[in-house]
Structure 1
Amino acid sequence: MKKELTIYDIANALNMSASTVSRALNENKAININTRNKVMQYALENGYQSNTFAANLRQKETHTIGIIVPKIDSKFVSTCLAGAEKVASEKGYNLLISQSLDELRREESIAKTFFRKRVDGLMVSLTANTTDTKHFAPFIAKGIPLVFFDRTPELTDSACFIIDNYQAAYKASNHLLDQGCKCLIHLTLNSNNKVYWQRKKGFVQALHDANKTNCGETLFLKNLDLDAGKQAAVLIAKKSPRPDGVFAANDQTAVGCILAFQQMGIRVPDDIAVVGFNNDLVCEIVSPGLTSVNYPAFDLGAMAANQLIEHILGNSNLNVTNQTVLKSDIIIRGSSLKIKKQP
């Protein structure tokens, strides 16, 4: 492999000092224009690449934001990252993205790696079972700004960016009840994270307010994906009385239910209405279309990144507002419409 050209190589070739070459490459006006052009021309012709990372380290800045997410293959997560990347790029920052694969030990390891890489700030969406966030303490101790988004800790002094999961689940459950469902079931993850227990809490409260506490239950799943939804559908079909309304904690699980119900000859929504969460693209691909809570993922990622970078730049203070709550709504499609609109 060809040796990388350094400023010392350029200095030797042009019979200049390394400091003169460095200032010329940085377009320092104290250096004669002819000298600057000579240095620039030689650097261009010989493939010189500036080591911005090393320069930034000397200035105690890397212009890099670390992001830890559970899984990148989630449409919700990838949309969050798109929002964060847009903002970061506009403000001259790069993103270092790593996935925990929903494993706490991996999340801890990534945090250590990002700390050693000296990121200027950190954005985190926790694993489903992270209850202790002490592995982020070094960032706080060093004064490196930290924000959480979507899956956030129960107790933290760091800024958090979320939606009201309780209220969103309450509305989704009420929609099923308004459609005439008599017996509901909530499919959720067996997790300590407040995202899921707040959705469960909203589901339970909707049943309570409708005086249907005896007509609802929660089924805890090991995963929230297509296969988990299909397996849950088989269990639901065997129940007596059989639920006629399903509220799933994400869209993949809801779609898995719909596909399995259809294979078993159970009509959606006539026999069982289904509602999901996140409003992923799959909602419009499945038939009937999946009713889902619309989670503004792009805005969430963009807002979290913007507030973080503005804090780094000294233009705002993350500590002023501990929690930012974005609005969500329900996108109603065919999977839940038991009551047909009159023409």
Structure 2
Amino acid sequence: METNKVTIHDIAKSLNIDSSTVSRALNDSPRVTQKTKDKILAKAQSMGYQRNMLASNLRKNVTNSIGVVIPRISRHFFSSVIQGIEETAYDAGYSVVICQSLEELKRERNIIQTLVANRVAGVLISISMETTNYEHFQILNSQGIPYVFFDRHCEIPANNNVIINDFKGGYDATQHLVSKGCKNILHFSGPGHLEIYKNRLKGYKKALSDNNILFKTENIISSKLMEQDGKVITKKLMDDKVNFDGIFCANDQVAIGAIKYLNEIGVKIPEQVAIVGFSNEPVSNVITPSLTTIDQPGFEMGIKATELLIKNIKDQSGTLPPETITMETNLIERNSSQK
């Protein structure tokens, strides 16, 4: 049996007022007094009225949802960013749709198309490791949907970005290893086309140069930065009898792989090899030895990115200049580097 849904006309009739006043009150219009709003809201609740958000959104041709595209939700850094996004969006009256690219360009493209088809109000994006061209973001421009890149961004003009100071993070990590007496420092990098890994590498190079340590291209080993990559790379280095006493890793996962392999074969950390990671995943504190790492403010990044996106959603003029917000990192010293 189908129940009759309560409409604004039913509420208007029961209060003996105009239905347009009811509509305005439910939309929190300043043209209705607070006293009248309270009376209408109380009546709406008691009658079991439910707003049809979809119909309201269709009329406005946009929803009050924000799409979030991240590589992996399982990474602590991204889950802490999402916390910041959700809290800020919720307080501003937006719901959040979270999608994972799982580091695949094809999947990222499909997600963007789906979000556009679902008329999201805006999109927050951290690009996949496979993303080397940015054509699929043009659909957002053509549909007038604002978007903000966070953490992993594209070096293309007129974008809004909220990023980490990856250069300083890379510099601090390498400088720390040098200060502990390391002379042959390797860098386990991510895919070379991504800005964040380019900048971490630049920081590494600058720290070497400032300490008069020769930079060698063969000391840069790129991978997808999974734990397994750390094990495989370190095994090959040991098999090839490469001489090194320090490793700066572009994330914690690959660092943990290296630590596990060196532990297995009895290489002492940090006495023989000192290691620094990047991103301060919770596991970095519980592995043996605990991992020195670069902490990045994920929660705060989520807040800033969402605030910037909402500012652009609410901008009717379309004249806001593009903005890049850079957030600072800090080094957390643990046992993997405490010589």
For normalisation by structure 2, the TM-score amounts to 0.86
Residue 219 (structure 1) aligns with: 221
1:6 Cα deviation from its structure 2 partner: 5.9
Kindly tell me the number of residue pairs found equivalent between the two proteins. 334
- Return the letter of the residue paired with 1:178: S
**What does residue 240 of structure 1 align with?**
241
1:125 aligned onto 2:126: yes
**Alpha-carbon distance in 1 for matches of 2:133, 2:5:** 46
Q: Which residue of 1 aligns with 2:116?
A: 115
How far apart are the structure 2 equivalents of 1:85 and 1:247? 33
The Cα of 1:292 is off from its aligned counterpart by 0.6
Which residue of the partner structure matches residue 5 of structure 2? 5
8 Å contact from structure 1 (residues 25, 39) kept in 2 = no
Equivalent of 1:40, from 40, 44, 56? 44
Native 8 Å contact 2:188 2:221 kept in 1: yes
Separation of aligned partners in 2, 1:200 and 1:37: 58
Tell me the distance in 1 between the aligned counterparts of 2:279 and 2:317: 30
1:2–1:281 CA distance, 2 compared to 1 (3 A): farther
How far 1:321 moved relative to its partner?
4.7
Query: Following the alignment from structure 1 to structure 2, what is the Cα–Cα distance between the partners of residues 70 and 59?
Result: 31
The answer (yes or no) to whether the contact 2:170–2:200 under 8 Å persists in 1 is: yes
**CA RMSD, 1 decimal:** 3.4
Distance 1:22 1:279, change over 3 A: same
Q: Which amino acid aligns with 1:68?
A: V
The alpha-carbon distance between structure 1 residues 273 and 195, as it changes in their structure 2 partners (threshold 3 A), is same
The CA deviation string for residues 42-63 of structure 1, in whole angstroms up to 9 with x for no partner, is: 742xxx5322132133234422
Instruction: Tell me if structure 2 keeps the 8 A contact 1:158–1:319.
Output: no
Residue 104 (structure 1) shift: 0.8
- In 2, are the aligned partners of 1:207 and 1:216 still within 8 Å (CA)? no
Deviation string, structure 1 residues 154-182 (Cα, Å, up to 9, x no partner) = 11311111112122112211111111112
* Pair 1:51–1:334, CA change in 2 (3 A): same
Counterpart residue number, 1:336: 337
CA distance in 1, matches of 2:3, 2:285: 53
Tell me what 1:146 maps to: 147
Q: Is the 8 A contact 2:183 2:213 kept in 1?
A: no
- Counterpart AA for 1:219: I
1:273 Cα offset (Å): 0.4
Paired residue secondary structure (1:277): coil
For residues 75-118 of structure 1, the C-alpha deviation after alignment (integer angstroms, 9 at most, x for no partner) is 11111111111111111111111011111111111111111111
* Structure 2: runs of 5+ lacking an equivalent: none
CA–CA separation in structure 1 for the residues paired with 2:185 and 2:88: 41
CA separation in 2, counterparts of 1:281 and 1:102? 21
The answer to whether the 8 A contact 2:312-2:320 is kept is no
Over the matched positions of the two proteins, sequence identity in percent amounts to 31
Q: How far does residue 213 in structure 1 lie from its aligned partner after superposition?
A: 2.3
Q: Per-residue deviation at 1:245?
A: 0.4
Structure 2 counterpart SS, 1:186: strand
- 2:277 is matched with 276
**Superposition TM-score, scaled by structure 1 size:** 0.85
Gaps of 5+ in 1: 339-343
